[in-house]
Structure 1
């Protein structure tokens, strides 16, 4: 089975945290905490709010909040403009929080990778694992 140009793939990274959903939610929605584990930002937890994530590497990711269900799910666009189509990305990131016996199961899905974006896809997979490691450190400090 071959992928057509219109088919996209998703990166999914999941992790269990020993913290309640409310604590994870704070880290996912408060700008100073988002900066601590992800990137500098001007995030506001309101559907339709447009914001930017600014990487230390100088890149800017344009985003828009799509949906919010407090302590349960958050999704926003993740659009990175680049002259190289292998790296330019129009995607959606969705965080899903599920309470469990240990604390919270977090599922992060970034959808919208086109067939020719193998490096961007691999980079996102590695990047989200690294970001979630930083998120664990942020949560431990709260």
Structure 2
């Protein structure tokens, strides 16, 4: 295998969100809120916790890698041959939070998954902002 074949790509989405990190953190870590903007899950913010996201099209197998409350959340994301890592980073700003989502690990032959993730995460983050606007 040559060097280029081993390289992977990441989907990175960054948004300024007009809510404090604590509120976003709840939406990223509480299953009833996660379900409103992403998918059904049995997520727990505990390192090494294995969980899944479930949707009509299937499921994603995940495992929590890192939890730093209101700052960083990272978990594996494995589905249909894709082995990747999703990392959320929350940085407080004067007007709310800088929210960064990175999904890393797309191989060169996973163009469809890569482009699907780019579109999917943009839609998910828009729904996340809607959920934030409607929850206490």
Q: TM-score range by the shorter chain?
A: over 0.9
The corresponding residue for 1:121 is: 114
CA positional deviation for 1:56: 2.7
Query: Any stretches of 5+ residues in structure 2 without a counterpart?
Result: none
Q: How many residues align?
A: 134
| Deviation for aligned residue 1:119 | 1.2
2:78 is the alignment partner of 1:91: no
2:61 is paired with a residue whose SS is: strand
Q: Does 1:35 align with 2:28?
A: no
| Deviation at residue 3 of structure 1 after TM alignment | 6.2
**What secondary structure, in the 3-state scheme, does the structure 1 residue paired with 2:5 have?**
coil
Q: After TM superposition, what 4+ stretches of structure 1 lie above 6 angstroms from structure 2? A: none
TM-score by length of 1: 0.91
Q: Choose between structure 1 and 2: higher strand proportion.
A: 2
Contact 1:39–1:56 (CA<8 Å) still a contact in 2?
Answer: no
Question: Which structure's residues are more often helix, by fraction?
Answer: 2
2:60 alignment counterpart: 61
Q: 1:131 aligns with which of 116, 124, 134?
A: 124
Please, what TM-score do these two structures have when normalized by structure 2? 0.95
Q: What SS does structure 2 have at the residue aligned with 1:116?
A: coil
Runs (5+) with no aligned partner, structure 1: 83-87
What SS does the aligned partner of 2:112 have? helix
Give the RMSD, CA atoms, in angstroms.
Answer: 1.1
